[in-house]
Amino acid sequence: MLLRIPLALLLLLMAGCGARRPGVDEARDFINRAEARMMALSEESGRASWVQSTYIIEDTEILAAQAAERQIAATVEFAKQAARFDGVELPPDLARRMKLLKTSLTLATPADPKLSQELTRLVASMEGTYGKGKYCPAGVSDPAKCLDLQEITRIMANAREPGRLLEVWTGWHAIAPPMRNDYRRFVELSNQGAKALGFADTGAMWRSKYDMPPADFAREVERLWEQVKPLYVSLHAYVRNRLAQKYGANTVKAGEPIPAHLLGNMWAQSWENIYELVAPPSADPGYDLTRILRARKIDHLEMVRYGERFFTSLGFPPLPDTFWKRSLFLKPQDREVVCHASAWDVDNVNDLRLKMCIDITGEDFATIHHELGHNIYQRAYNQQPFLFRDSANDGFHEAIGDTIALSITPEYLVKLGFLQKAPDPSKDLGLLMSRALEKVAFLPFGIMIDQWRWKVFSGEIPPEKYNQSWWDLRLKYQGMAPPAPRSESDFDPGAKYHVPANVPYTRYFLAHILQFQFHRALARAAGCQGPLHRCSIYDNKEAGRRLSAMLEMGQSRPWPEALQALTGEKQMDATAILDYFAPLKQWLDEQNKGKPVGW
């Protein structure tokens, strides 16, 4: 008997056979192969990037760019292939790995190999331009007498003559205009790559990493900023008034933004270097950590050992021997390096490194704790599948080391033998002011950089308004004004490392929120009975256990679950900052009575 099938049904059946939906086993095989390849390329790129950052020449830039291009191209290709499994019902762990594959990039290259190569070369070149940047004062023809960023940073921190500060501020920002056209082209090409992966633009791709829709994440960031804004505005008003007393009412005007070169930092992103100008009366913290470190003749290696010992006191194992052999701790005399402090996990297993040109200062003492926090986190999740070898979200990574740094309290320094006894609690106002100048002052800067980039990537800020929009946002969030006339011939965003190096920045804002939330939870776990700002978790194994439990999760679960594992809370919450600085906020408001607040 001949069975006759209608032609339309036959065509439908044939089409269905040709479009067979892949299954779970095929998806798992794909993701395993992708992860193995991505891990190998990540290690190759990591080694090339390490050499580029620690030996800046044209050849190392090319080699790093080539390795990055291979890594990015492969990841982009895997992300595109992952679309085959859209709609396939996968086990939760496999579905999450597939999702993270699609959102793992901070830079997606176009499909065209020539454009892909152009894009990666642009990023390597811009980072190299930044790393080699120097200010050569007028009349100086000898390059050896020009000032690099490390030297300029010291001047910004210590000089108190407005003319000198303006000179080096302007001099450093002059390194950036040559990057302007490269950055415009970088935006075009990176957006091409992001759109090929299904994102509206590169900024939307970045915001898709946070276990929520991109628009929801943008609103979440603004919600957190609104929580802390009143504390920042109070601090800004008080500091502005004290700077006016120092520099005169014509230089720092009441009710107006603060000139950006007077805050002791090139970007006015933290203000702790001007502590002596704004310190509360009779509120000396009682010690100077920089002076203590230098008086004890502590060298760069011992600085790092102190950071390591904090983590071992919590129950974490020591850093591997290779860390001490392969890290860069001092600025070499024979070559250019990127001195910006960073922590490295070259092989995604145990090749941990620190790259930092260490100064014997209290600031670098805290920075070392921060960077080692990255290394400890990297090692904690190294048993997870490759795509889970990252922090719950990128703000978590930045927060962990800073959480430890919040434990650098007088009580901690007593345990190290740096102080005979902790200062009387009457000194706390000075301690809180010092920390607020570092942490609270940073918050608006932490949010505005990516506000600028998100708008640049989306086209809301066109190339002809790059610089104007940068300063519009610095005014809106920071209450800062440029100290010298600026125009579109300048490219002031390029004078901040993270812009030419294409490093997302919202992570640092989130980290400044999360570190206080983490600290409050860990202080409670450690049974701390005193004020939050006096709590140190040093040598407390229960706090270490809670911390380790979260770190080992890596990115295997959505970040609210990781947050809950440590804090018991599922939402990021800035009230811990308000708790920490409550005594200072009350004092600031008293000082600001009858004076302009805001700008």
Residue range 61-117, pLDDT digits in tens = 899 989 988 998 898 889 889 888 988 999 999 999 999 998 888 888 898 999 999
Element (H, E) at 147: strand 147-148
**Assigned domain for 418 exists:** yes
Q: Is 176 a catalytic residue?
A: no
Segment 532-591, tens digit of pLDDT: 999 999 999 999 999 999 999 999 999 999 999 999 999 999 999 999 999 999 999 999
Record the tokens describing residue 564, joined without a space. Answer: 């809950």
Which is more confidently placed, 141 or 251?
251
**Assigned domain for 80 exists:** yes
**Model pTM score:** 0.84
* CATH number of the domain encompassing residue 354: 1.10.1370.30
Q: Is 508 a catalytic residue?
A: yes
Number of domains within the chain: 2
Q: Is 498 a catalytic residue?
A: yes
**Assigned domain for 22 exists:** no
Q: Are residues 421 and 312 in the same domain?
A: yes
Q: Is 533 a catalytic residue?
A: no
Paired sense of beta strands 258-259 and 147-148, if any: unpaired
DSSP H helices, 104-213, are 113-131, 149-158, 162-173, 180-196, 202-207
Q: Are residues 191 and 327 in the same domain?
A: no
**Which of 198, 226, 244 is the endpoint of a domain?**
198
Q: Are residues 517 and 413 in the same domain?
A: yes
**Assigned domain for 390 exists:** yes
Q: Are residues 192 and 293 in the same domain?
A: no
CA nearest to 160, candidates 252, 249, 264, 244: 264
Record the tokens describing residue 434, joined without a space. Answer: 């010092």
- Structure confidence at residue 15 as a pLDDT band (50, 70, 90): very low
CA 398 to mean position of chain CA atoms: 6
Burial 528-561 (b: 16+ CB within 10 A, else e): beeebbbbbbbbbeebbebbbebbbbbbbbbbbe
Q: Are residues 192 and 338 in the same domain?
A: no
Catalytic residue among 377, 398, 519, 533: 398
User: Which pLDDT does position 361 carry in this prediction?
Assistant: 93
**Which of 142, 165, 198 is the endpoint of a domain?**
198
**For residue 335, what are the CA distances in angstroms to 56, 268, 299, 401?**
7, 29, 22, 29
Paired sense of beta strands 258-259 and 342-345, if any: unpaired
List CB contacts of 247: < 8 A, sequence separation 6 or more.
162, 262
**Assigned domain for 360 exists:** yes
Catalytic residue among 498, 565, 569, 582: 498
Q: Is 261 a catalytic residue?
A: no
Q: Are residues 316 and 422 in the same domain?
A: yes
Query: Is it the case that residue 431 has pLDDT exceeding 90?
Result: no
Q: Are residues 522 and 381 in the same domain?
A: yes
Q: Is 341 a catalytic residue?
A: yes
User: Which pLDDT does position 69 carry in this prediction?
Assistant: 86
For the ranges 115-129, 246-260, 336-350, the maximum mean pLDDT occurs at: 246-260
Catalytic residue among 196, 279, 341, 565: 341
Q: What is the span of the domain harbouring residue 536? A: 289-427+506-579
Q: Are residues 194 and 335 in the same domain?
A: no
**For residue 584, what are the CA distances in angstroms to 22, 170, 244?**
60, 34, 21
Q: Are residues 194 and 309 in the same domain?
A: no
CA separation for the pair 280, 332 (Å, rounded): 40
**Assigned domain for 575 exists:** yes
Q: Are residues 414 and 551 in the same domain?
A: yes
Catalytic residue among 210, 412, 508, 580: 508
Catalytic residue among 261, 340, 369, 512: 340
**Assigned domain for 532 exists:** yes
CA separation for the pair 326, 520 (Å, rounded): 35
CA separation for the pair 406, 139 (Å, rounded): 45
Contact present, 207 and 561 (Cβ < 8 Å)? no
Contact present, 413 and 534 (Cβ < 8 Å)? no
Segment 401-430, tens digit of pLDDT: 889 889 999 999 999 999 999 888 777 898
**Assigned domain for 245 exists:** no
